[in-house]
Amino acid sequence: MGVTVRQKVKGRGKPWWVFICHNGKRKSMRIGDQKAAHKVASRIRQKLAKGKLNLADRGQPPTFADCAKTWLGYIEGMRRKSTFERYDEMLKNHILPVFGDKVLDRISRGDIRDFLVSKTGQGYSRSTICVLRDITSGVFNYAIDEEIIQVNPVSGITKRLELNRKKKP
């Protein structure tokens, strides 16, 4: 059982990695800088001590909520504090209630499109909807980087997505 923080190739600057060995399973996570990597490692050590760490098997992808939490830890050191807090709030209030319990590879492009269109119907601005799309895409891109899934279902949903808004004359 152990959590280590190091660079894959010494002296190469960024990125820093967190390596986890627990119950015969191994996992590595690429983190931006050394400080952020140590923060993530500290959280993982706490979960290990409490017995709450579950390393997902390669056979079954984790839920969206599990991947989103890891992604937030990954980006924390790479974003301004205000941006990170906004992402965290939008995940908790908008995205996780819809996709949190779903397994990553069971979320389709249509599910995401319907989610974004429903937010338009609730009166959210186009820029807010684009941020929701970008956060969701970031979680899926992280899952691709970790080789959990092969395809990002958010790709192809463009910023010019017509969200049932009437154009002003």
CATH of 60-169, picked from 3.40.50.10300, 1.10.150.130, 3.50.50.100, 3.90.1720.10, is 1.10.150.130
- Specify which residues 22 forms β-bridges with: 25
Q: Give the pLDDT of residue 13.
A: 66
What's this model's pTM, rounded to 2 decimal places? 0.62
Closest of 94, 88, 138, 86 to residue 120, by C-alpha: 94
How far is residue 29 CA from its own chain's centroid?
12
Place of tokens 């579950």: 54
Place of tokens 């660079």: 7
Q: Give the pLDDT of residue 7.
A: 81
Q: Cβ distance 77 to 39 under 8 Å? A: yes
Closest of 112, 105, 100, 91 to residue 156, by C-alpha: 112
User: Is it true that the peptide bond before 15 is cis, omega within 30 degrees of 0?
Assistant: yes
Element (H, E) at 28: strand 25-31
Q: Whole-angstrom Cα distance, residue 49 to residue 125?
A: 43
Q: Give the pLDDT of residue 43.
A: 84
Blockwise average pLDDT, block size 10, the chain, 169 residues: 78 77 76 83 83 64 90 87 94 95 90 91 90 94 86 78 49
Contact residues for 30 (Cβ-Cβ < 8 A; gap 6+): 15, 16, 17, 74, 145
Place of tokens 């590595």: 28
Q: Give the pLDDT of residue 25.
A: 74
Q: Give the pLDDT of residue 169.
A: 46
Assign residue 65 a region: left if phi > 0, alpha if psi is -120 to 50, beta otherwise?
alpha
Q: Give the pLDDT of residue 85.
A: 94
